[in-house]
A = this chain, B = another copy of it.
Amino acid sequence: MRREYRSASVVPAFSGEIAPQASTRVDRWAVGRIQQSLASAPLRFVLWDGFELPSKTGAPVATFLIRNRRALFGWLWDPALNFGEAYMSGAVEVYGDLVTMLEEVYRASDSTPRPWWLWQKSNDLHAARENVHHHYDLGNEFYRIWLDREMNYTCAYFPTRDYTLEDAQIAKMDLVCRKLRLKPGERVIEAGCGWGSLALFMAKRYGVSVRAFNISPEQIAYARQRATEEDLTDRVDFIEDDYRNIDGECDVFVSVGMLEHVGLADYRTLGGVIARVLTDRGRGFLHFIGRNKPAPLNPWIRKRIFPGAYPPTLREVFERVLEPQNLAVLDVENLRLHYGKTLEHWQQRFNDALPRVASMFDEMFVRAWQLYLAGSQAAFTTGSMQLFQVVFARGASNAIPWTRAD
């Protein structure tokens, strides 16, 4: 199923495109250190003058061509940030499958201890808007190219591996509704509704009324148009506002793919919002990318793709969002392999439509997105990132499912 991102996994002969300056002893030491830091991964390195470091652990899954000294030392100095920068600009080229290479890199990094500095500033209302604008307002046209028809930009659910992406996203939305036992007439509040697919689905298939919040103007505009077209404006209200400003009352609180953008510092605020709006017999649902142990998001992804984002551990969510409000965890499911599969589909579509994407954005953007999508797939398939779905309820509520049977 995996695509070659380049036409061949064979490195071209280094004749025309090589810079004239020969690599020095220090350059060769530097590339040796990089290889060493990924010791267990079968990777081959080639410098700009053709100097080659073969894989130390069997047939290489990929070859890196490092085109200049700046990329080399940037990588050595801060690999988590600068590998992405160099790949994006083309200063580092990868021959071989990007996902396979990244999986090996993730596995190799897992066995070496990583000292992480956890620090994140609070995403105030303005910063939150900026962060979301950065990513989600790239133009609905762009996302339409490679997302499913319903524009779900979150992990799909594949009852079996051969589901299409379209069907798997429908299955995901249905899974969310079934986990929440939605009943006709119930009032749902959705925090972070993307292009509105889930809100519309819940109203259409489960007969609930939904107030859906989002701070991306492009997404809200798209969602409202869909509500009008599908004649659902009486039951779905799309509100362009921050989750912190959610008011009113609801039987069900649901948030799919927003928690990653909230930031640890505001989890208590989110918990307070949930406790404020949920009825005594209310249920809630959180779907988010997470970790097994705390670690910041890769700095390159934070810089180029998701400013202000942080994937939390379950413990961090329970500690700050649910426990202080005496909310009871009813059900948790980890769907990380489903996100790996989702990302495989997204990449297939993205790469199938490369000419179209290339007509909209420059080469750096395309390479950045290829790396981001491939890196995300690798993070889920190697267990570096998790996808958690959490169902909760008021602590004293007995309006909870007896079993999981449905």
Interface residues in chain A, defined as those with a beta carbon under 8 Å from any beta carbon in chain B? 107, 110, 157-161, 292-294, 313-315, 318-319, 322-324, 326-334, 336-337, 381-383, 386, 388, 394-398, 400, 402-405
B337 x A398 contact (CB < 8 A): yes
B386 x A328 contact (CB < 8 A): yes
A113 to chain B, nearest CB (A): 11
A331 to chain B, nearest CB (A): 6
Q: List 17 A-B contacts (CB under 8 A).
A: A158-B402, A158-B403, A159-B405, A160-B402, A292-B322, A313-B323, A314-B314, A314-B315, A318-B318, A328-B383, A329-B332, A329-B388, A332-B332, A333-B404, A337-B398, A383-B395, A404-B404
A292 x B332 contact (CB < 8 A): no
Nearest CB in chain B to that of A334: its residue: B330
Nearest CB in chain B to that of A381: its residue: B398
A383 x B404 contact (CB < 8 A): no
B323 x A159 contact (CB < 8 A): no
A331 x B334 contact (CB < 8 A): yes
A326 and B403 in contact (CB under 8 A), knowing A313-B318, A396-B107, A396-B383? no
Residues of chain B within 8 A (CB-CB) of A397 are 383
Nearest CB in chain B to that of A397: its residue: B383
Residues of chain B within 8 A (CB-CB) of A107 are 396
Residues of chain B within 8 A (CB-CB) of A382 are 396
Residues of chain B within 8 A (CB-CB) of A329 are 292, 314, 332, 334, 386, 388
Question: Contacts A294-B323, A328-B386, A337-B402 given; 15 further ones with Cβ under 8 A?
Answer: A110-B396, A159-B403, A161-B402, A292-B327, A292-B329, A293-B324, A313-B318, A314-B329, A328-B336, A329-B334, A331-B334, A334-B400, A337-B400, A381-B398, A383-B396
A328 and B334 in contact (CB under 8 A), knowing A159-B403, A293-B323, A315-B323? yes
Residues of chain B within 8 A (CB-CB) of A404 are 333, 404
A387 to chain B, nearest CB (A): 11
Residues of chain B within 8 A (CB-CB) of A327 are 292
B323 x A292 contact (CB < 8 A): yes
Nearest CB in chain B to that of A333: its residue: B331
Q: How far apart sit A161 and B158, CA to CA, in the bound complex (Å)?
A: 31
A179 to chain B, nearest CB (A): 11
Residues of chain B within 8 A (CB-CB) of A322 are 292
Residues of chain B within 8 A (CB-CB) of A293 are 323-324, 326, 395
Q: How far apart sit A279 and B405, CA to CA, in the bound complex (Å)?
A: 31
- Return the 8 tightest CB-CB contacts between A and B, nearest first: A332-B332, A315-B318, A292-B395, A383-B396, A293-B323, A383-B395, A330-B334, A315-B319
Q: How far apart sit A381 and B158, CA to CA, in the bound complex (Å)?
A: 35
A362 to chain B, nearest CB (A): 36
Nearest CB in chain B to that of A324: its residue: B293
Q: How far apart sit A242 and B325, CA to CA, in the bound complex (Å)?
A: 36
A172 to chain B, nearest CB (A): 12
